[in-house]
Amino acid sequence: MTLFPAFLKLQNRQVIIIGGGSLAESKLPALLEAGARVRIISPRLNPHLHAQVRANNLDWSPKLYEPGDLAGAFLVIAATSIPEVNAAVFQESEARNILCNAVDDIANCHFYYGSIVQRGDLQIAISTNGKSPALAQRLRKELEEQFGPEWEEWVAQLGRTREELQSIPMPPEQRKRLLHQYASLDPKPH
């Protein structure tokens, strides 16, 4: 099966995480960075997740998962170490047409997390279609070296240049050609 690669806009969308341990914690930073409204359903939370609740970064329902808990969700992460719970979360997600990822449980996933290189607005995602997360991590490390911190400012500068060119009346093909010329330059370390 071939996967469809996508970058989701999660700003103000409800994301529910089932589980309150290290698996849930590992998924939280990217969700918060994307502006998702996160609710965790778990009887207990680890100390880091408790701190996130106290900082009002997420909502917490201190209980076990029950059918019906996914109402209103856009995306669900099943992050428990209990396969039966992850499967039940996936089944409810299926019934509600909600995208679900059961961490480390390929059979109960609509999508997988890629290994990501992040340099400001530049995101490079790597996937092996679930076949070798270790290879994806290795490739991420190699790409992190190839695309150093200078790329963050370079992408920001290209964005400003694009905005400026959009405000100048010119034929679309000329604008496109100029944007491609700028993008083909090498980033300069600052």
44-57 pLDDT, tens digit per residue, is 999 999 999 999 88
Q: Are residues 144 and 103 in the same domain?
A: no
Backbone phi and psi for residue 122, each to the nearest 5 degrees, phi listed first: -85, 120
Q: Are residues 76 and 104 in the same domain?
A: yes
Q: Are residues 58 and 43 in the same domain?
A: yes
pLDDT tens-digit map of 15-48: 999 999 999 999 999 999 999 999 999 999 999 9
Q: Are residues 98 and 109 in the same domain?
A: yes
What's the pTM value of the predicted model, to 2 decimals? 0.82
Residue 5 lies in a domain: no
**What's the first-to-final CA gap in the chain, in angstroms?**
43
What is the secondary structure of 90-159 as a DSSP string?
A: HHHHHHHT-EEEETT-GGG-S--PPEEEEETTEEEEE--TTS-HHHHHHHHHHHHHHS-THHHHHHHHHH
Boundaries of domain holding 131: 114-148
Single residue among 92, 113, 134 that ends a domain in this structure: 113
Q: Are residues 30 and 104 in the same domain?
A: yes
Residue 101 lies in a domain: yes
Q: Are residues 161 and 176 in the same domain?
A: yes
CATH for 90:
3.40.50.720
Residue 160 lies in a domain: yes
pLDDT tens-digit map of 71-115: 999 999 999 989 999 999 999 999 999 999 998 888 899 988 888
Instruction: Report CA-CA distances (Å) from 6 to 9, 53, 113.
Output: 10, 29, 11
Cβ proximity of 119 and 152 under 8 Å = yes
Residue 90 lies in a domain: yes
d(CA 72, CA 152): 35
Give me the residue label for tokens 């047409």. 97
Q: Are residues 79 and 48 in the same domain?
A: yes
d(CA 17, CA 40): 5
